[in-house]
Amino acid sequence: MKVVIFAGGKGTRISEESHLKPKPMIEIGGKPILWHIMKIYEKHGFTDFILCLGYKGYAIKEYFVNYFSHNADITIELQNNVVEVHNTNAENFKVTLVDTGLDTMTAGRLQRVERYINEDTFMLTYGDGVSDVDITKLLEFHKSHQKLATITAIIPDGRFGTMDIATDGLVNNFKEKPKDDNHWINGGFFVLDKKIFSYLKEDMTNIMWEQDPLIQLTNDSQLMTYKHYGFWKCMDAMRDKEELENLWYSGDAKWKVW
């Protein structure tokens, strides 16, 4: 089964690093966050990826073209350019790299990879979010309801603490902002029937997947939610990268399910 990953955005809110590389190539623990996402799927047996490239897509192409040698012990005879590979730690990934346009919106990117999807069901996610979502159970849920699309819904952690303040200014109580069970958001990790491409018939270059297509699927009662209560984190800004790095190096990277 194919796994499509949006990997073409500019990452303007993490420009400290994205001016040098595409956002999915920003590293967590010495590996691109894109690699972490792919490892999550690999754990559940899904290793056939389609990457929707855009901004600095050449960097992602070069990373995977040279992946085998970068993860191997090699001997090079410089005089005749003979390369001997002794062993490699490369993953068993099949990766299709598709240029989907520099400024193309997400619906347009998905539309442009349709020709590479030859099965009735495929998966889709974003190239900047990690989670310990159980992909196997997600797929089982999708198959059980017979709808065209399943979206993983998550409850984001509160970013700010809350305070109970007395009239004289004394803080009576301080606590981290709790999760709100009524505040579900799009966590990515979709499972989709190929028939969803009927919702992408026009030129989708300037259309977001999260807008018209998902709204139309909702209006047609074809979008189901898989509620995930576990770990989820999107690397939207530098503070998110730093948090993910801290989790990785402290041994508390909950998305590391492999």
Task: Give the pLDDT score at 171.
Answer: 47
The C-alpha atoms of residue 5 and residue 21 are separated, in whole angstroms, by 17
Per-residue pLDDT of the chain (258 residues; tens, 9 = 90+): 999 999 998 877 787 776 788 999 999 999 999 999 999 999 999 999 999 999 999 999 999 999 988 888 999 999 998 989 888 888 999 999 999 999 999 999 999 999 999 999 999 999 999 999 999 999 999 999 999 999 999 988 765 455 555 665 554 555 555 565 567 899 999 999 999 999 999 999 999 999 999 999 999 999 999 999 999 999 999 999 999 999 999 999 999 999
Q: How many angstroms separate the Cα of 114 from the Cα of each of 58, 107, 128, 157?
A: 21, 11, 22, 34
d(CA 117, CA 113): 7
The H or E element that residue 246 is part of is helix 238-249
What is the pLDDT, as a whole number, of residue 145?
93
- DSSP-assigned letter for residue 169: S
pLDDT, residue 89, reads: 85
CB 50 within 8 A of CB 34: no
Q: Using CA atoms, how far apart are residues 240 and 225, in angstroms rounded to an integer? A: 25
Task: Please name the amino acid found at residue 224.
Answer: M
User: Which one, of 106, 88, 143, lies nearest residue 4 by Cα?
Assistant: 106
pLDDT at 12: 74
Cβ 205 vs Cβ 105: under 8 Å: yes
37, 73, 76, 87, 191 from 69: Cα distances, Å: 21, 8, 11, 9, 33
Domains of the chain and CATH, by start: 2-249 (3.90.550.10)
- Judge residue 176's burial from the number of C-beta atoms within 10 Å of its C-beta, 0-12 exposed, 13-18 middle, 19 or more buried: exposed
Which residue in this structure is represented by tokens 């399943």? Answer: 150
| DSSP annotation of 251 | T
Identify whether the C-beta of residue 148 lies closer than 8 Å to the C-beta of residue 124.
no
Angle (CA) 72-95-203 rounded to 5° is 155
Please report the pLDDT score of residue 166 as a whole number: 60
**Angle subtended at Cα 219 by Cα 214 and Cα 222, rounded to the nearest 5 degrees:** 70
How many other C-beta atoms are found inside a 10 Å radius of the C-beta of residue 220?
12
Tokens of 125: 């996610």
